[in-house]
Structure 1
């Protein structure tokens, strides 16, 4: 998806605005198990369905916090957080992350993103600070809130510098 009139040159005009809300994504047991296999985090509350249904305070397995955090990148791409005229968008860091509520296996989540700040750098690079909320369908509390930093790189370096000079 692309955001109307959102580009490397117009980023300043989007500061403080919602970039969008993604479609719902299912966080099913297969996804949780695959994440556990990739990371080696096979804690029972994530992967042992029988034990979690007996012993977990959530009535079953839950997603890893870092699994839910990792979904933000793909949801941001879906929303169009990376301007279409950027050559690349890279994870740059996190300023704040709070895991607010567990994501039970089988739940659907979606991302809501607001552009908080931009910081123009040399070489056609811009750091985006984005407020993220990963919402859980049917729940009052989000799964997480996070401020992510994304470096976007212009296809043509002169485009971003020319915009800076004009400002």
Structure 2
């Protein structure tokens, strides 16, 4: 998705504005298991479906917090965070992350992105800070809120 007039030369005009909301994405057990395999985080609350049904306060398995956090990158790209005229957008870090509500296996999530600030870093780089809210379908509170940093290469 692209926003009308959104480019590296005009990005500062978008500060304080919502850039968009992503489509819903399913966080199913297969995704949770793949993340556990990649990271080595095989805590039972994420991967042991039967035990989680019996013992978890959530009635089943939940996604890793870092799995939920990692979805912000692709969902932000989906809404058009990186302007079409940028050469690249690189993950530059995080300023604040709070995990608020666990994402139960099978839930759908989406990301709402607001452009918080823009800072030129020389002639060929722009540091972009966004405020992200990962929403869970049917839940009152979000899964997480996070301020992310992206370095745009112009």
TM-score range, shorter chain: over 0.9
Q: Give the total of aligned pairs.
A: 154
Summarize the alignment of residues 20-35 of structure 1 with structure 2, pairs less than 5 Å apart.
Answer: 20-35=20-35
| Alignment-derived partner of residue 16 in structure 2 | 16
Give the TM-score taking structure 1 as reference length. Answer: 0.92
Give distance in 2, aligned partners of 1:35 and 1:26: 14
CA deviation vs aligned residue, 1:121-140 (integer Å, no higher than 9, x gap): 11410000000000000000
| Alignment-derived partner of residue 111 in structure 2 | 111
Give distance in 2, aligned partners of 1:123 and 1:40: 41
| Alignment-derived partner of residue 80 in structure 1 | 80
Summarize the alignment of residues 68-147 of structure 1 with structure 2, pairs less than 5 Å apart.
Answer: 68-147=68-147
Q: Which runs of 5+ in 2 are unaligned?
A: none
Give distance in 1, aligned partners of 2:123 and 2:37: 38
Q: Who wins on radius of gyration, i.e. which is larger?
A: 1
Q: Which runs of 5+ in 1 are unaligned?
A: 155-167
| Alignment-derived partner of residue 50 in structure 1 | 50
Please tell me the root mean square deviation across aligned C-alpha atoms, in Å. Answer: 0.5
Give the TM-score taking structure 2 as reference length. Answer: 0.99
CA deviation vs aligned residue, 1:106-153 (integer Å, no higher than 9, x gap): 000000000000010114100000000000000000000000000011
- Match of 1:86, SS? coil
Give distance in 2, aligned partners of 1:123 and 1:63: 40
